[in-house]
Amino acid sequence: MDSPFGLLAELTYRCPLACPYCSNPLNMAGYRDELALDEWRRVLAEAGDLGVLQCHLSGGEPLLRRDLVEIAAAAHDLGLYTNLVTSAVGLSRPRAERLRAAGLDHVQISIQADEAAVSDRIAGIPSFRRKIEAMRLVKELGWPLTMNVVLHRHNIDRVADVLTLAEEVGADRLELANTQYYGWAWRNRAALLPSRAQLDAAEVVVRAARERLRDRMDVIYVISDYYSRYPKPCMGGWASRQLTVTPNGDVLPCPAAQSLPLPRASVREDSLARIWAESPVMNAFRGTDWMPEPCRSCFRREVDFGGCRCQAFLLTGDAARTDPVCHLSPDHHLVAGAVEAANTGSRAGDPALVPRPHRARRPDRIPRGSG
């Protein structure tokens, strides 16, 4: 594609939760100088000119931005389809009504499990009840609702109950996404990676639910990379369909690419169009010319594009290596070893989860009715 159709606008990395699988950067200090409202308005206008159709307002927790309503309104006025990706902590009725009036099209709410004690333990704060209330508010106001659950060793056995909860709250779409190991999830990989038996059992439940709910709810199941024979394509191909703008204005081909040793490109220094077309960070792994063997001669080179560059870097120290998830990769033993450990370790001896540090004011201090 000549232009992207999706923009992930990461408005802030601040968040009231402490999820141990968070994929946001470990170095939060580099993102404190957040883009101001006028800067986001310019970015959104340039994204529209570039061909972007979908705008996902994310974070961290985007509700911590006091100007969220104004940002959503700006995207709506440009004709972008807007999706709020949120923990829903801080989504009061006045704020929700203002976002509805601003033209926000869709709400995606994350929840950690189907039961309060488990969900709150994983989230790091009491939040389950507020999330359920927010989901019901979203449906009451007429929005489409996506419920998102990141799956891992500590909740994947509860998939059947998660599906029941999604039905109870009237979700239009349920995303069951196995953990991607970046950021804090990478640090907690040994404690999060499920066993093969857990995955097999979950997939049976999901397949049955898809059939039963096919006329009422879309059930999306993102498989676990580490158990796949081939890797997934990075965002549909590096810098081919999507782009991410981080809170400080850095532009990336995917949300995890800030970990790679690539030159930075910022909307504070250049236009989005020039960054998309000409910047080294966008062109580093575009297409297939960069590929090493075995990717270069593989029949799947234009299917999975060598897999995830960020995963390759984290596992091997070289972003240009074949994704070690692939069974053909010379580094596949790095993934196989992690999988073996997840299947032979004692559940009683699992390492403790390291929670992501809190990076937000207390949610109850967010002014009522603020954006």
Domain boundaries, given as residue ranges, for the chain: 6-227, 234-344
Residues 6+ apart with CB under 8 A from 145: 107, 108, 109, 135, 138, 139, 169, 170, 171, 172, 173
Residue 368 has pLDDT above 50, yes or no: no
With vertex at residue 109, the alpha carbon angle to CA 104 and CA 114, rounded to the nearest 5 degrees, is 155
Q: What is the pLDDT of residue 348?
A: 46
pLDDT (tens digit, 9 = 90+) per residue, 322-351?
A: 999 999 999 999 999 999 999 986 544 566
Give the model's confidence band at 371: pLDDT under 50 very low, under 70 low, under 90 confident, else very high: very low
- Among residues 148, 160, 153, 155, the alpha carbon closest in space to that of 218 is found at 148
Q: What is the pLDDT of residue 363?
A: 33
Residue 291 has pLDDT above 60, yes or no: yes
Q: Distance between CA 36 and CA 50 in Å, rounded?
A: 21
Read off the pTM. Answer: 0.92
* Domain 6-227 falls under CATH 3.40.50.150: no
Q: What is the pLDDT of residue 367?
A: 31
Contact yes or no for 70/40 (Cβ under 8 A): no
Please tell me the number of Cα atoms within 13 Å of 290 on its side-chain side: 18
Q: How many residues does the chain have?
A: 371
Give the model's confidence band at 137: pLDDT under 50 very low, under 70 low, under 90 confident, else very high: very high
Residue 310, marked binder: no
Residue 15, marked binder: yes
Residue 358 has pLDDT above 80, yes or no: no
Burial class (CB in 10 A: 0-12, 13-18, 19+), 184: buried
Residue 254, marked binder: no
